[in-house]
Amino acid sequence: MDTIFGVPTQALFGQLLIGLINGSFYALLSLGLAVIFGLLNIINFTHGAQYMMGAFCAWFLLNKLGVGYWWALAIAPLSVGAFGILIERLMIKHLYQLDHLYGLLLTFGLALIIQGLFRNEFGSAGLPYQVPAELAGGQNLGFMFLPKYRAWVIVASLVVCMATWFVIEKTKLGSYLRAGTENSQLVQAFGINVPRMITLTYGFGVGLAALAGVMAAPIYQVNPLMGGDLIIVVFAVVVIGGMGSILGAILTGFGLGVIEGLTKVFYPEASNTVIFIVMAIVLMIKPAGLFGTQK
């Protein structure tokens, strides 16, 4: 069998694919963060908790109301997004004029509280959530067994990422949004309700986190800690991609998933540090991140 650096090529393909799957979660989560930071200038540390809430929402829908996975994909982002809007209206909006640090402290505190409440109620072992029947099982690709559900995750994540990028960069609505963050007074003078637009954007970013949560529920446990474990990595992804850069967040998300996947083959012990090593290197060479622009 052919080998690359002592690893069979076939195994390597499998690992690349797995890297892409994990990368799609990174991409989806960092996308939400990038949208929120790019348009609101808020470093949303509650993102991990909102991702977790999305997963719990799916669990509730299934176990308490008998509503399945496909509806959860729509309902969870909407309800968690609504919760996000509430937080934005009540708390975050008072911080826009202040230093980033205040937003960071507020959202980080909120994340701790939400996570603590869920842990208190549900414990840390998590709750089971089955893969929906339509996506159970998998396909033998020859070099690896690909669960259908994971394939779906890659496709869904790519579609959502691309659609978001398109809306923000290429449509009129997107141009309002971008203009609103550049100079909100001027845009308001054109008769556009900027505060409402910002609130909805925050809700959308949070909804993306919840969507990722629903997609993660069948793969990982529905666990109060799931967001806290992931959020640091996702922040590293955003920093590497360039804070606020939407395309940067998507591409680095997938790219780092692959790099992490390969590390798991060649030097597994370093697989949870490799992203931070990449981050340090990138920041040394390009302090604004790969796709960021220096302000």
Partner 1 sequence: MAFKKTMLAAAVAALVAGTAQAQVSDGVIRIGVMNDMSGLYADIAGPGSATAARMAVEDFGAAKKGMKVEILSADHQNKPDIGSAVVQKWYDVDKVDAVFDVPTSSVALAVSEITRKKGKAFIVSGAATADLTGKACSPNTIHWTYDTWMLANGTGNAIVKTGGDSWFFLTADYAFGHALERDTEAVVLKSGGKVLGKVRHPFPGTDFSSFLLQAQASKAKIIGLANAGGDTINSIKQAAEFGIVKGGQSLAGMLVFITDIHGLGLNTAQGLIFTETFYWDLNDQTRAWTKRFAPANGGRYPSMVQAGVYSAVLHYLKAIEAAKTDDGTKVIAKMKELPTDDPLFGKGRVRQDGRKIHPAYLVEVKKPSESKGPYDYYKIRATIPAEQAFRPEKEGGCPLVK
**Pair 235, 242: CB distance under 8 Å:** no
Quick check: 128 binds partner 1 (CB under 8 A)? yes
111 forms part of the interface with partner 1 (CB under 8 A): no
Instruction: Determine whether 237 is exposed, middle or buried from the number of CB atoms within 10 Å of its CB (0-12, 13-18, 19+).
Output: buried
Distance between the two ends of the chain, CA-based, in angstroms?
51
- Euclidean distance between CA atoms 266 and 148, whole angstroms: 26
- Region from 90-98, 140-148, 239-247, 283-291 binding partner 1, contact rule CB under 8 A: 140-148
Give yes or no for residue 214 binding partner 1 (CB under 8 A): no
Contact between 221 and partner 1 (CB under 8 A)? yes
Q: Is 124 in the site for partner 1 (CB under 8 A)?
A: yes
Which H or E run includes 7? strand 7-8
Q: Tell me the window of 11-19, 76-84, 169-177, 195-203 that interacts with partner 1 (CB under 8 A).
A: 11-19
- Told to check if 229 binds partner 1 by CB under 8 A, we report yes
Q: Is 68 in the site for partner 1 (CB under 8 A)?
A: no
Quick note: the x/- pattern for partner 1 over 171-210, rule CB under 8 A, is ----------------------------------------
Sign of CA dihedral 97, 100, 105, 106: positive
Query: Counting contacts by CB under 8 A, is residue 123 touching partner 1?
Result: yes
Binding of partner 1 at residue 144 (CB under 8 A)? yes
Choice from 249, 265, 278, 279 touching partner 1 (CB under 8 A): 265
d(CA 43, CA 208) in angstroms, rounded, equals 15
Size of the site for partner 1 (CB under 8 A): 43
Q: How far apart are CA 242 and CA 106, in angstroms?
A: 23
Distance CA 25, CA 28 (A): 5
Taking CB under 8 A as the criterion, the residue among 164, 223, 245, 252 binding partner 1 is 223
Q: How many CA atoms lie within 13 A of 174 on its CB side?
A: 12
Q: How far is the CB of 179 from partner 1 (least distance, A)?
A: 39
In sequence order, the β-bridge partners of residue 127 are 222
Nearer to partner 1, 11 or 156 (CB): 11
Distance CA 159, CA 120 (A): 36
Tally of CB atoms within 10 A around 175: 13
Candidates 230, 239, 251, 258: give the one binding partner 1 (CB under 8 A): 230
Task: Match 């937080």 to its residue by tokens.
Answer: 87
235, 82 Cβ separation under 8 angstroms? no
- Residue 105 in the binding site for partner 1 (CB under 8 A): no
The reply on whether position 79 binds partner 1 by CB under 8 A is: no
Interface with partner 1 (CB under 8 A) = 8, 11, 14-15, 18-19, 21-22, 116, 119-121, 123-128, 130-131, 137-138, 144-145, 147, 149-150, 219-221, 223, 225-226, 229-230, 261, 264-265, 268-269, 271-273
